Amino acid sequence: MHDFQVSVAQSPPFTLVTLIGELDVITVPELRERVTPLLARPATRILFDVEKLRFIDSAGMRVLIDACVRTPPKDGDGALCGMSPQMRHLFSLLGLMSRFTVYPTRADAFSHPVAVPSDTAHTDTAHTDTAHTDTARTDTAV
């Protein structure tokens, strides 16, 4: 059974999308269904809170990338907060950190909502031998 929850809330300056559980090829359609209408709204800046996301595969990463790339530059960029060290390391290895503004926590995102380069928003401290796969398990080693 796939444990996944997504909630959407308007929290200016962001539309907050909170992800909980496992985001994989089975649960991606649920996330796409919730995110697609947000992208049609003008001036939507999406903040994905992934603090409670225990697992993400390449299909889940694709949804996050698509949502952030499709956000018009004049409206700000898509952002992530609450990334585990393993998830941050995986995104870094795959060259995805430049696609997002990354905040350490949700509080940081709301305290400093101006876009900052991802490379300065974190320190990459995770080092795992299995991070070369297309999945990240954040409750255990990658």
Residue 33's CB is within 10 A of a number of other CB atoms, namely 10
Q: What is the pLDDT of residue 71?
A: 61
Residue 136's CB is within 10 A of a number of other CB atoms, namely 30
Q: What is the pLDDT of residue 135?
A: 39
Q: What is the pLDDT of residue 6?
A: 97
Q: What is the pLDDT along the chain (142 residues), one digit of tens a residue?
A: 579 999 999 998 899 999 999 999 999 999 999 999 988 887 778 999 999 999 999 999 999 988 887 765 555 568 999 999 999 999 999 888 887 889 999 999 999 876 544 444 433 333 333 333 333 444 433 3
Nearest to 80 by CA among 16, 9, 7: 16
Q: What is the pLDDT of residue 45?
A: 87
Q: What is the pLDDT of residue 115?
A: 52
- 3-state SS class at 139: coil
Q: What is the pLDDT of residue 48?
A: 96
Q: What is the pLDDT of residue 133?
A: 35
Q: Can you give the length of the chain in residues?
A: 142
Element (H, E) at 46: strand 46-56
User: Measured between alpha carbons, how far is 71 from 115 in angstroms, rounded to an integer?
Assistant: 13
Q: What is the pLDDT of residue 76?
A: 59
Q: What is the pLDDT of residue 5?
A: 97
